[in-house]
Amino acid sequence: MRALPGILLLVFGAAARAQDFNITASVNQTQITLEEQVVLSVSVSGAGSGLPEPKLPAMPNFNVHGAGQNRNFTFANGVMTNSAEYRYVLVPRFSGRALIGPISAESGGVTRKTAAIEIAVLKHSPAAAPQPSPQPPPQAHGARPQAQPRGPGGAPDLFVSAEVDKESPYVNEQVILTVRFYTGVPLLGNAEWHPPATQGFLSEDIPPAQPRQVFQDGRRYNLSEIKLVLFPMQSGELTIGPSVIVCQAQQEMEVDPFSQDFFQRFFSQGLMQAQTRELRTRSITLKVQPLPEAGRPASFTGVVGQLRVKAETDKKSLSAGDALNLVVTVEGSGNLKALLDPKLPDMPQFRTYDTVSSANIEKDANGVRGSKVFKTVLVPKVSGQLKIPAIPVSYFDPVKRDYATAETRPIEIDAAPGAAQAPAPAYVASPGQGGTITPLIQDIRHIKEPRGFGPGRLAAALSRTLWIHLFPAAVFLAGLLSFLHRESLLQDPAGARFRRALDLAERAISEAREILPCDPQKAAGLLEEALTGFLGDKLNCPRSGLTIKQAQALIKKRFPKMPEGHLRQLKLLWEEIDLYRYAPSAPGGTGDASQFVDGVLQMIKALDEEMAR
Amino acid sequence: MRLPLLALLFAAQPGWGGDLVEANKLYGQSKFAEAAAAYKELAARDPLDPAAHYNLGNAYFRLAGPGDLARAIASYERAFNLSPRDGDVRHNFDFALKRAGETLVPTGMPSAAFILFHILSRTELSALHWLGFWAFLLLAAAALWREKWREALKPWVLWSGLFWAAAGGWWGLLALSDVQNPGVVLTLDAEVRSGPGLNFPVNFKSPEGRRVSILDEKEGWVEIGVLKEGLKGWISAEQVERI
């Protein structure tokens, strides 16, 4: 954790300063002969990862060949510095003073330039005079020499050839095109070289070798070789166009000794004249094979060649939370520019930050080779014996015609407990301060073990089971209704008596019906009470002491529409019950109380019906 | 009465203790990704278990990959909502929030007042509110039913009513003070736009782990409100996790 701000500064802060850069240029020598070469080094450096590439000015006095580049990243004091060196070989074409103009680079609207460099090119030195060479001349396979004017022995004065080292490469496999230029006559300056059209290829030029002397068809020639490394980008037939070489050769003049200006010419120009010659190689067609689909590893990113990979860390032991650098170096031959960042395996014990890479590309007669270095910052999240697993880098080996995977060796890291790993703050007592404790670190606290059935869970259940809360609501509602009912009865006692009269009378009649078989006298008494009670409640008068005359009078007064038949029937029933109760054996008594039960019930229902109208 | 009690006991069934122990073993072996997956499953099966959410937050925090801080904050918030009196939960929640530029206790509010206000969880306050509801209604019903009990029950009815109102009021205040429909931003410097689509300009950028209120949703975009800065805008729905 302590390393985090610094790492973030490295990873993110540096990218924001891409426009802070410098460009410088230098040469290995400022005075050369026509047989020599100048090595021009252009260096671009700055903070950040997005440095611009230099733009070379037009240099008509030189043939320019790229000779590789070198990129480096360095971390110092929390700042990432990026530098790239581009190397070029300049072959002079003419003697005299040649100027390398300002070399520029542009980034984020900012353009920087180098100072111009002047080179003095001298004529051929005596030491460089052609010498007989014992080696036989090379045989060109890719193209026949182009027919040219021939010398006395039948061999041409100048000719060119072109050949490739393989005619059926795989996609992205390195192909070396060699263009040879044979000169059997002196040249005025060096030749001008026009590279071939290479549509469908990525091309890298290779610095030219020093010219040498060879024998061809019994004639001695100066041989200059120019090589291009080509990477076909697609399968099928791809054509390398013709290379063109333009030079000025010295040719003997046809002189007429009897001409008027013979002597003037002989002494002023000699008997030789300059002739511009353009030589052209033939086109070469390659049959590019596609890479096989079968067996393609997941980590394959397109590199065809041979690779080796190794990994190392700057620390083998550290504290959890501290940073270490994992450096993965991939080296070998092939188009290393196409090599992407290796996919790091899953490392849950480490926090992984962005990867930065640097490349060192070398070119020679055998093609392009070099190395690419990937730096990744890792921070152990836990303590203990940690392991960085093997990191695979896959490529296609054109020699074996199969995919191959190179792997780094696993790396063991010893991580001691540190700030980011401890589960809880550690406390130490400071001696002499009364036992004051001071937290050493800040971190999250440890996980929890399972807990039993707690009040929180019951609370959650209570708050989420909503339907059970209807129960107290229903109880309350019932109590409220009961209360209101009783309150309404208290507010209107006469009305309450009136409304309850029939219920009470029916209850008394029902009771009389039950005891009738065993105690007819008591049953008759209950029937009379039911009748008088009904009338008392309906008429709102005391039930005790109510006589039939009073009852009839009150009924007529309160219910004037009461039929007279009902009143006569009431009087008759009342008197019969009285007679049964107090003189059951008297003349006119029925002697059977059961007939009164239905009679009283029908009577009070008829009265209630009329009173309700 | 048996049915409601049975329903309560069924709803309050205990958590998956054995599985939590297994997940804790993975955490102890520093297999944080596996532990996070196990805790996530436990939390999904038993959303009322604060330990599962808290431990899930710890696992995400240790993973420390893209979006893991935000997921840790979301898990800690769920644990805090369930168990606010737990000091460990409060500590880790505050610790993670500080990484995202926030604090658990709002600026200007005394820490003691915050802890007192959150001493009961919303669930607990809800339960207390319902207990007050039961007590008040049953006591009131009894007082209405029997006139002779009425005088004796009057103070109990009064106090239970006050308890009901206090618990309900506190519950409501807590619900109102919390972020409504909360979510958390999952990505670093997430671009928040003025409309639901990439053709709208970026209004502001939100750091990973910032808690937001989700206001609206439309075709894979959500409108969020950032309370601290008083800003709102639209963000891809994949960049926000609902809490």
DSSP secondary structure, A309-361, as one string: EEEEES-SEEETT--EEEEEEEEEEE-GGGPPPP-PPP-TTEEEEEEEEEEEE
- Read off the pLDDT band of A156 (50, 70, 90): confident
Would A266 be classed as within a structural domain?
Answer: no
Q: Cβ atoms within 10 A of the Cβ of A600, count?
A: 26
Residue of A462, A470, A488 to mutate, testing the B interface (most B Cβ within 10 Å of its Cβ): A462
Report d(CA A332, CA B191) in Å as an integer.
42
Nearest by CB to A444, which of B4, B24, B58? B58
Q: Vertex B31, ends B25 and B37: CA angle to 5°?
A: 85
Select the highest-mean-pLDDT range: A77-81, A607-611, B179-183.
Answer: A607-611
User: Can you tell me the ipTM of this complex?
Assistant: 0.76
* pLDDT of the residue at A264: 57
Q: For A495, how many CA atoms within 13 A lie in the half-sphere containing its CB?
A: 7
Q: Are residues A36 and A153 in the same domain?
A: no
Domain extent listing, chain B: 14-109, 122-177, 182-242
Would A6 be classed as within a structural domain?
Answer: yes
- Read off the pLDDT band of A11 (50, 70, 90): very low
Question: Is A381 part of the contact surface with chain B (CB cutoff 8 Å)?
Answer: yes
pLDDT at B142 over 90: yes
Q: Are residues A115 and A144 in the same domain?
A: no
- Written as six digits, the tokens of A232 are 């076909």
Do the chains contact at A348 and B63, CB–CB below 8 Å? yes
* pLDDT of the residue at A64: 80
- Written as six digits, the tokens of B195 are 């409309």
Higher pLDDT, A155 or B109: B109
Closest residue of B to A379, CA-based? B64
Would A109 be classed as within a structural domain?
Answer: yes
Closest residue of B to A421, CA-based? B62
pLDDT at A18 over 60: no
Provide the b/e sequence for A174-210 (b: ≥16 CB within 10 Å): bbbbbbbbbbbbebbbbbbbebbebebbeebbbbbee
Torsional sign, CA A13, A19, A20, A24 = positive
Do the chains contact at A460 and B12, CB–CB below 8 Å? yes
Nearest by CB to A471, which of B4, B9, B128? B4
Q: What is the mean pLDDT of chain A?
A: 78
Residue of A444, A487, A490 to mutate, testing the B interface (most B Cβ within 10 Å of its Cβ): A444
Nearest by CB to A458, which of B12, B21, B129? B12
Would A598 be classed as within a structural domain?
Answer: yes
- According to DSSP, residue A498 is labeled H
Q: Cβ atoms within 10 A of the Cβ of A265, count?
A: 15
* pLDDT of the residue at A141: 39
SS3 of B134-150: HHHHHHHHHHHHCHHHH
Q: Are residues A49 and A112 in the same domain?
A: yes
Would A27 be classed as within a structural domain?
Answer: yes
* pLDDT of the residue at B175: 85
- Written as six digits, the tokens of A487 are 């309150």
Closest residue of A to B130, CA-based? A463
Q: What is the mean pLDDT of chain B?
A: 87
Do the chains contact at B4 and A478, CB–CB below 8 Å? no
CATH at A145: 2.60.40.740
Would A468 be classed as within a structural domain?
Answer: no
Q: Are residues A411 and A513 in the same domain?
A: no
Q: Are residues A149 and A204 in the same domain?
A: yes
Nearest to A229 by CA among A377, A65, A72: A65
Q: For A367, how many CA atoms within 13 A lie in the half-sphere containing its CB?
A: 20
For residue A276, the one-letter residue type is T
- Residue with tokens 């041989």, as numbered in its chain: A223
For residue A250, the one-letter residue type is Q
Report d(CA A374, CA A342) in Å as an integer.
8
User: Average pLDDT, stretch A569-597?
Assistant: 76
Q: Are residues A516 and A597 in the same domain?
A: yes
* pLDDT of the residue at A426: 36
Backbone angle region of A553, left / alpha / beta, with phi > 0 → left and psi within -120 to 50 → alpha: alpha
Give the model confidence (pLDDT) of B52-78 as tens digits.
Answer: 999 999 999 988 788 888 999 999 999
Q: Cβ atoms within 10 A of the Cβ of B210, count?
A: 25
Q: Are residues A199 and A72 in the same domain?
A: no
Do the chains contact at B17 and A348, CB–CB below 8 Å? no
- Last residue of one domain, picked from the residues A124, A154, A169: A124
Do the chains contact at A456 and B124, CB–CB below 8 Å? yes
Nearest by CB to B92, which of A445, A452, A469? A445
Q: Are residues A8 and A109 in the same domain?
A: yes
Helices and strands, counts by H and E, chain A: 9, 30
Residues of B in contact with A472 (CB under 8 A): 133-134, 137-138, 141
* CATH superfamily ID and name for B14-109: Tetratricopeptide repeat domain (1.25.40.10)
Please name every residue paired with A286 in a beta bridge, in sequence order, or none if there are none: A238
- Residue with tokens 């309700």, as numbered in its chain: A612
Give the model confidence (pLDDT) of A220-259 as tens digits.
Answer: 888 888 888 888 888 889 899 998 888 877 766 665 656 6
pLDDT at A602 over 70: yes
Q: Vertex A208, ends A273 and A122: CA angle to 5°?
A: 45
Quote the minimal CA–CA distance from A314 to chain B in Å.
23
Torsional sign, CA A576, A581, A582, A588 = positive
Select the highest-mean-pLDDT range: A90-94, A263-267, A338-342, A531-535.
Answer: A531-535
- Number of structural domains chain A divides into: 4
Q: Are residues A71 and A144 in the same domain?
A: no
Closest residue of A to B65, CA-based? A351
Quote the minimal CA–CA distance from A537 to chain B in Å.
25
CATH at A517: 1.20.120
Which of A8-12, A182-186, B208-212 is predicted with the least confidence, judged by mean pLDDT? A8-12
Question: Is A444 part of the contact surface with chain B (CB cutoff 8 Å)?
Answer: yes
Q: Are residues A278 and A352 in the same domain?
A: no
Would A72 be classed as within a structural domain?
Answer: yes
Report d(CA A79, CA A48) in Å as an integer.
8
pLDDT at A139 over 70: no
Would A14 be classed as within a structural domain?
Answer: yes
Do the chains contact at A446 and B82, CB–CB below 8 Å? no
pLDDT at B194 over 80: yes
Q: Are residues A326 and A220 in the same domain?
A: no
Q: Which residues contact A442 (CB under 8 A, 6 or more apart)?
A: A419, A425, B95
Percent of chain B with pLDDT over 70: 93
Q: Cβ atoms within 10 A of the Cβ of B239, count?
A: 21
Provide the b/e sequence for A29-65 (b: ≥16 CB within 10 Å): eeebebbebbebebbbbbbbbebbebebeebebbbbb
Q: Which helix (H) or strand (E) holds A496?
A: helix A493-515
Alpha helices in B49-121 (DSSP H): 50-63, 68-82, 87-99, 111-117
Residues of B in contact with A453 (CB under 8 A): 12, 14
Note down the domain range covering A412: 316-332+339-361+369-443
- Last residue of one domain, picked from the residues A427, A443, A459: A443
Backbone angle region of B97, left / alpha / beta, with phi > 0 → left and psi within -120 to 50 → alpha: alpha
Nearest to A326 by CA among A291, A368, A298, A354: A354
Please name every residue paired with A374 in a beta bridge, in sequence order, or none if there are none: A328, A357
* CATH superfamily ID and name for B182-242: SH3 Domains (2.30.30.40)
Quote the minimal CA–CA distance from B227 to chain A in Å.
26
Q: Are residues A390 and A499 in the same domain?
A: no
